[in-house]
Amino acid sequence: MHVRLKNAIPIAVLAAAYIVAARLGLTFDPVAGFATLVWPPTGIALAALLIFGPRLWPGILIGASITSMMLGGSLAVAIASGVGNTLEAVAGVYVLRRVRGFTLSLETFGTILGLIFVAFACTAISATTGVASLFFGHVIPSAQIGASWQAWWIGDLIGALLVAPIILVWTSPPRVPCSQNKWEAVALAAAVVAVSLVTFFGDAPGIPVLPTPFHQAAVTLAILIWSALRFGQRGAVTTNFCLTTVAVLATASHHGPFVVADPHTNLLSLQTSIAIVAISCLLLGAALSERRWALEQAHQALSDAERANSAKTAFMQIMSHELRTPLNAIAGFTELLCTGVYGALNPKQIEALGRIQRNEKELLAQIDAVLTFVQLESGETALHSEPVPVIDAFDAVEPTIAPEVRSKHFVLQRELPTTPLSVRADRQGLQQLLTSLVSNASKFTKDGGVITLGAERMDGRVRIWVRDTGVGISQEKIDQVFEPFFQAERGTTRQFDGVGLGLTIARQLARGMAGELNITSEEGAGTTASVLLPAA
C-alpha cells in the first residue's frame, strides 16, 4: 500500500503539470483546437521519466487524456492521444538511456545527438497517433491532416529541445562546476533582457532598434556563446530558453522580426528558427562541457601522477638508507675476517671474502645511484658553480677506473688542447658525472679496448667527452638511454649489470650545472658521451 501511494503522488503531480503546461501551449494558435506549435508537455514528460524513471508513465497518459477530453475530444480520442504521448516519452527515454556516456546534465556530445534524434523521430509517434485519432474520431477532416500533423510534430519537437533540457540541467549537477561569478551572471541576465527587448520588441514604442536583422542575429549569437563559454550547459540552455520565451511572447503579441500577415506562419517560422538555434546551442554547450571535463581529468591525472611520484621518491629514499645498514655490517665483518681477527684463513676462504667485498661494493654503488637519482629528482642536491680546471677533473676520475684498466688491459688516453681549459661547474657534481660516464665506458668495452677522455672549447662553452671502443648502442635505443632504469638488454641473462640510472643521473647533473649531455653511438663501434658546460 505504501509503495502504491509513493508512486501515486508523483504520477498525480506529473499529470497535473502536464495539464497545466498543455493549457499554456494551447494558447498559441492551436490547429483544430488540439495541435499547437508550442507544446511544453513533451519536454516535461521526457524529463520526468528520465529523472524519476519510466514508472511515472501513467501520469503522462492521464494528463494527456484529460487534456484531450477538456478540449472536447471523445473518450476514445482522448485515450488514443494519451497513448501516443506516453509512447513518445517512453521511447525517448529508451533511446537516450542507451546512448553511450549519457548524462542527465546533457554534457556529452553523444547525449545531445541522442536528444536530437528523440526530438525528431520519437515525437512523430505522438503526432501520428494523435492526428490519426482526431481523423478517425471525426474531429478533423482529411484536408487538415497535414497541417495538424505538422503543428503537432513541431510543437513536440520544440518541447523536447527546449523544455526538457532546462529541466534536466537544473535538476542534475554538472560534471565540472563552472566558476560562479555572480556579477558576471547579473551582467549576462541584463544582456539577455536587453537583447530580447531590442530583438523581439524593437518595433514597440521606446525600444531602440538594431540596424538590420544581421545585427540582431549577431548580438543574439554572441549572448549564447558567452553563456556557454562562461556558464556551461546550464548557462547555454537557460539563456536560449529565456530568449525563446520572449520571442514566442513577442510573436504571439504581433511584435518582432517573425511577424507577417498569417499568425500561423509567424509561429511556424519562429519555431523553425528556435529548433535550429536550440540544436546549435545544445551542441556548443556539450562541446565546451566535454572540453572542460577533459581538462579536469587531465589535471586530476597530473595530480595523481605527482602524488605517485612523491610516494615513489619517499619509498626509494627510505629503502636506499635502510639497505645501507645491513651492507655496512657485511662490509665491516668481512673486513674483520680478512684481517684475521677471528683466526687465520685459507686461500679459498680469502677468495670467497674477496668476492663478498666486490659484490658488497657493487650493490652499495647501485644503492648510491638510486639515492642520488632520488635526490636530484626531488631537488635536494644543491650544485654550486665555480671554476674547475678540466685536467683536475680528469685527474680525480681516472683513479676510479684504475682497477678495471689493469684487469681488462684498457688503453686510457687523453685528448686535450695545449691551452688549459676550465669550466663553471660544481666540482663534486662534475666528478660524479665523469665517473658515471667513465664507468659506463669501462662496463661496455671489452678487454684491450680504448677509453679516451677529451675536451675542447666550443663557442663560449667547453665540450668534454668520454669515448670508448665498446659494443655501442643501436639507433633504435639511442633516444631511450636517458630514461630512468632503462636497460638495452632485458631479462635475467643480461651480459652487463647495473640499474640503468648512470646516464639519467649524468644528464641531470649536467643540466643542474647549466649544461647538457648528449650521446652518439654506432653499434659495434663504440660510444661517445659529450658534456657541454659553460667555460670559466
> What HEC string does 373-391 produce?
HHHHHHCCCCCCCEEEEHH
pLDDT surpassing 70 at residue 461: yes
Instruction: Decide: 450 and 410 in contact? Cβ < 8 Å.
Output: yes
Task: Tell me what pLDDT residue 498 has.
Answer: 53
The domain segmentation of the chain, as residue ranges, is 1-173, 311-378, 386-534
Task: Tell me what pLDDT residue 522 has.
Answer: 85
Class of domain 386-534: alpha beta
pLDDT digits (tens, 9 = 90+) for 188-212: 899 888 888 888 776 666 566 555 5
Grid coordinates of 118: 528523440
Task: Tell me what pLDDT residue 414 has.
Answer: 92
Instruction: Decide: 91 and 47 in contact? Cβ < 8 Å.
Output: no
> If you write DSSP's letter for every residue of 385-452 in order, what string do you get?
-EEEEHHHHHHHHGGGGHHHHHHTT-EEEEE--SS--EEEE-HHHHHHHHHHHHHHHHHTS-TT-EEE
- Say how far apart CA 520 and CA 467 lie, in whole Å: 10
pLDDT surpassing 80 at residue 259: no
* pLDDT interval class at 318 (50, 70, 90): confident
- Say how far apart CA 271 and CA 163 lie, in whole Å: 13
Class of domain 1-173: mainly alpha
- Say how far apart CA 111 and CA 47 lie, in whole Å: 13
**Helix runs in 100-161, H state only:** 109-117, 123-136, 145-158
pLDDT surpassing 80 at residue 345: yes
Task: Tell me what pLDDT residue 454 has.
Answer: 94
* Secondary structure tally for the chain: helices H, strands E: 16, 7
Task: Tell me what pLDDT residue 530 has.
Answer: 93
Vertex 66, ends 65 and 71: CA angle to 5°?
100
Do domains 1-173 and 386-534 share one topology? The answer is: no
